[in-house]
């Protein structure tokens, strides 16, 4: 028995040392793996926070009243006698200084007072809007308008031109209620 104990004790000590070494190696490797993954997780979390912050900061203005600006017949820039006949309606931004609320435009039925108020508010700017619309439409060609995104591009050009002419009245969108090229 005396012979078995030292050999058995040596085996137990070796097993304990081996278990401690394995535990240390696995702990070190876990620590290294976590440290390597941590910066990427922090970067992802920062990116998510930036996106959420940007969404909060870029609060889109509320839609305001729609204003039918009228019908336009213009010669297109194509050689020959090509013209465009269209009716344009402007989607205005809600005025930030207590202007019209988005429900004031009347919706279905009623709203006569709101419509008159919108016309009274917009009438001083109507010549500027009409000039910008006519100028922008007259620069167009049939090929440009009939391109796959042609009308959307034209709407964006009109919106930009209108907002440059009257910066105090933000045009959010342009709608065509009639659109004929001949």
CA distance 94 to 101: 6
pLDDT of residue 55: 61
CA distance 158 to 173: 9
pLDDT of residue 102: 39
Please choose, from the candidates 65, 168, 159, 177, the residue with its C-alpha nearest in 3D space to the C-alpha of residue 116.
65
pLDDT of residue 58: 60
pLDDT of residue 57: 60
Contact of 114 with 104, CB cutoff 8 Å:
yes
Task: Say how many C-beta atoms besides its own lie within 10 A of residue 161's C-beta.
Answer: 19
CA distance 80 to 68: 30
Contacts of 84 (CB under 8 A, 6+ apart): 72, 73, 74, 76, 137, 140, 145, 179, 180, 181
pLDDT of residue 63: 83
pLDDT of residue 6: 52
Which residues on neighbouring strands pair with residue 93, listed in sequence order? 63
* pLDDT tens digits in sequence order for the chain, 182 residues long: 445 555 557 778 888 888 899 989 988 887 777 766 666 666 667 767 777 766 656 666 678 899 999 999 999 998 888 999 999 999 998 876 434 343 444 444 445 676 788 888 888 999 999 999 999 999 999 999 999 899 999 999 999 999 999 998 899 999 999 999 98
Taking the model in full, what pTM does it have?
A: 0.59
Please choose, from the candidates 117, 50, 60, the residue with its C-alpha nearest in 3D space to the C-alpha of residue 94.
60
Contact of 136 with 157, CB cutoff 8 Å:
yes
CA distance 102 to 92: 10
pLDDT of residue 30: 79
Strands (E), 18-107: 63-75, 83-93
Buried b (16+ CB within 10 A) or exposed e, 20-47: eeeeeeeeeeeeeeeeeeeeeeeeeeee
Tell me 77's DSSP state. Answer: S
CA distance 119 to 113: 10
Task: Say how many C-beta atoms besides its own lie within 10 A of residue 176's C-beta.
Answer: 13
């Amino acid at each position: 028995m005396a012979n078995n104990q030292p050999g058995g004790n040596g085996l137990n000590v070796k097993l304990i040392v081996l278990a401690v070494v394995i535990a240390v190696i696995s702990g070190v490797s876990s620590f290294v793996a976590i440290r390597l993954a941590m910066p990427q997780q922090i970067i992802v979390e920062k990116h998510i926070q930036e996106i959420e912050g940007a969404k909060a900061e870029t609060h889109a203005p509320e839609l305001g009243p729609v204003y039918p600006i009228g019908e336009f017949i213009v010669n297109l820039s194509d050689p020959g006698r090509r013209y465009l006949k269209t009716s344009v309606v402007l989607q205005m931004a809600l005025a930030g200084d207590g202007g019209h609320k988005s429900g004031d435009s009347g919706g279905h039925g009623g709203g006569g007072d709101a419509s008159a108020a919108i016309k009274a508010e917009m009438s001083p700017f109507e010549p500027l809007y009409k000039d910008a619309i006519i100028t922008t439409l007259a620069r167009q060609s049939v090929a440009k308008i009939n391109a796959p995104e042609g009308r959307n591009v034209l709407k964006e050009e009109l919106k930009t031109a209108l907002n440059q002419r009257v910066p105090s009245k933000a045009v959010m969108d342009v709608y065509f209620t009639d659109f004929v090229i001949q």
